[in-house]
Amino acid sequence: MPYHGTMHTQRSYKRIAVKAVLGFAIALSVALFAAFYWWFRPDWLIALVYGALCLLAIITVPLLYRMYGFVDLDVLRELRAVEQQDHQEMLGRLSKLQQSLEDLDINEGEKQAKTLNNLLNDFHEVIANRFDGKNLSASTYLNAARRVQNQALQNLSDMVGVGHTISSLKRQSNNEDSQRQLADQGHRLKKLISSNQKLFQALTDTSIEVANIEEIGKFERTETLARLNDLADIARQQSN
């Protein structure tokens, strides 16, 4: 499941929030101006002054909404909802993969599915706590961490595919070609398992850093994000 960039998501939500507030301010100002003009029937100068005050309200309301942090609160609510939805979808995919790995007797893959389940839940709890208040810093980890998590899921899915191939080869005649293919599939399975072990360690480190984000400098955060993205790229290339 592709995950949209968090910074892009933040900007989108902020635009939506500001547009919503601006729309409300415009509608309210127009309604008040219409009511004022209908009730008092003022001359053009007074109507112009009142119209200028309404225009000022249209401009200042969204500015104050942003200035006092309400935009960030709206973004946090949306990010929490998106993260929750992504989390549930990933757990659903993982549950099916774990069952498939168990059916194929890929024991190490099944163990990794359980490990990834724990890592997903741990990261979900940590990121949820860090979305409290007005703290948007933790959200910068979401995109990179999701890439790594999705790559780990893809590796497990590839293990299922390899498992089916191995089962099919074992049912065929025991000739030299089938033995070579079995060896190749076994080698690929080991590479997928090794790749996930590295991804799991990165996810563990990320959860720890997010939990202690106030104590980590900007340079360390940038370095971690770069490492996560590089790791996801390498793992995806190796799995192909």
pLDDT tens-digit map of 30-64: 888 888 778 878 888 887 887 788 787 777 777 76
Task: Identify the CA nearest to 138 among candidates 233, 7, 229, 3.
Answer: 7
18: pLDDT confidence band, cut at 50, 70 and 90?
low
Please determine, for residue 205, whether its predicted confidence score (pLDDT) is greater than 60.
yes
Take residue 156 and report the two structure tokens written for it.
Answer: 């497990």
Name the residue type at position 141: Y
d(CA 236, CA 228): 12
Contact 209, 220 (CB under 8 A): yes
> For residue 236, what pLDDT band results from cuts at 50, 70 and 90?
low
Check pLDDT > 70 for residue 151: yes
pLDDT (0 to 100) of residue 5: 46
User: What are the tokens at 10?
Assistant: 């933040």
Distance CA 220, CA 197 (A): 22
What's at 98, amino acid-wise? Q
Query: Quick one: average pLDDT of 145-157?
Result: 91
pLDDT digits (tens, 9 = 90+) for 57-69: 777 777 766 776 6
**Token pair listed for 114:** 């359980």
Structure tokens at 17: 């929030």
Query: Could you tell me if 75 and 13 are in contact, meaning their C-beta atoms sit under 8 angstroms apart?
Result: yes
The torsion angles phi and psi of 132, rounded to 5 degrees, stand at: -70, 155
Top-ranked range on mean pLDDT: pick from 48-57, 66-75, 152-161: 152-161
Q: What is the pLDDT of residue 16?
A: 61
DSSP SS3 for 88: helix
CB 162 within 8 A of CB 192: yes
